[in-house]
Amino acid sequence: MRKKLVAGNWKMNQNSIGISEFASKLLTKLQNSQPNSDILICPPFVYLPQLTALFEGSSVQIGAQNVSNNSKGAFTGEVSAAMLTDIGLRWCIVGHSERRKFNHETDEELIQKMELLFAEKINPIFCCGETLPDRNAEKHFEIVQQQIESTLCAMTTNIVETITIAYEPVWAIGTGVTASKEQAQEMHAFIRDLIGKQFGDSIAQNTHILYGGSVTAENAQELFSMPDIDGGLVGGASLKADSFFQIINNCK
Out of 37, 164, 214, 250, point to the residue binding ligand 13P (CB under 6 A): 214
> By rule CB under 6 A, what count of residues binds ligand 13P?
14
Applying the rule CB under 6 A, the residues between 215 and 234 that interact with ligand 13P are 215, 233-234
Helix (H) / strand (E) containing 247: helix 241-249
Minimum CB separation from ligand 13P for residue 19, in Å?
A: 18
Whether 186 is catalytic: no
DSSP for 123-139 reads EEEEEE---HHHHHTT-
Decide whether 10 or 199 has the Cβ nearer to ligand 13P: 10
CA–CA gap between residue 17 and residue 40 (Å, rounded): 20
Out of 6, 173, 204, 223, point to the residue binding ligand 13P (CB under 6 A): 173
43 binds ligand 13P (CB under 6 A): no
213 binds ligand 13P (CB under 6 A): yes
124 binds ligand 13P (CB under 6 A): no
CA–CA gap between residue 34 and residue 96 (Å, rounded): 30
Whether 78 is catalytic: no
Out of 5, 9, 69, 126, point to the residue binding ligand 13P (CB under 6 A): 9
Q: Nearest-CA neighbor of 7 among 247, 205, 250?
A: 247
| List 96, 140, 188, 208, catalytic entry | 96
| List 140, 168, 188, 208, catalytic entry | 168
What is the per-residue binding string for ligand 13P in 52-91, x denoting contact by CB under 6 A? ----------------------------------------
169 binds ligand 13P (CB under 6 A): no
Out of 174, 200, 201, 242, point to the residue binding ligand 13P (CB under 6 A): 174
- What is the edge-to-edge ordering of all strands in the sheet holding 4-9? 60-62, 37-42, 4-9, 231-234, 209-212, 164-167, 123-128, 91-94
Which residue is at the shortest CB distance from ligand 13P? 235
235 binds ligand 13P (CB under 6 A): yes
Residue 56 DSSP label: T
CA–CA gap between residue 208 and residue 7 (Å, rounded): 12
CA–CA gap between residue 168 and residue 147 (Å, rounded): 12
Q: Is 92 helix (H, G, I), strand (E, B) or coil?
A: strand
Q: Is 192 helix (H, G, I), strand (E, B) or coil?
A: helix
CA–CA gap between residue 112 and residue 225 (Å, rounded): 34
Out of 236, 245, 248, 249, point to the residue binding ligand 13P (CB under 6 A): 236
Interaction site with ligand 13P (CB under 6 A): 9, 96, 168, 173-174, 212-215, 233-237
Residue positions annotated with a catalytic role: 96, 168
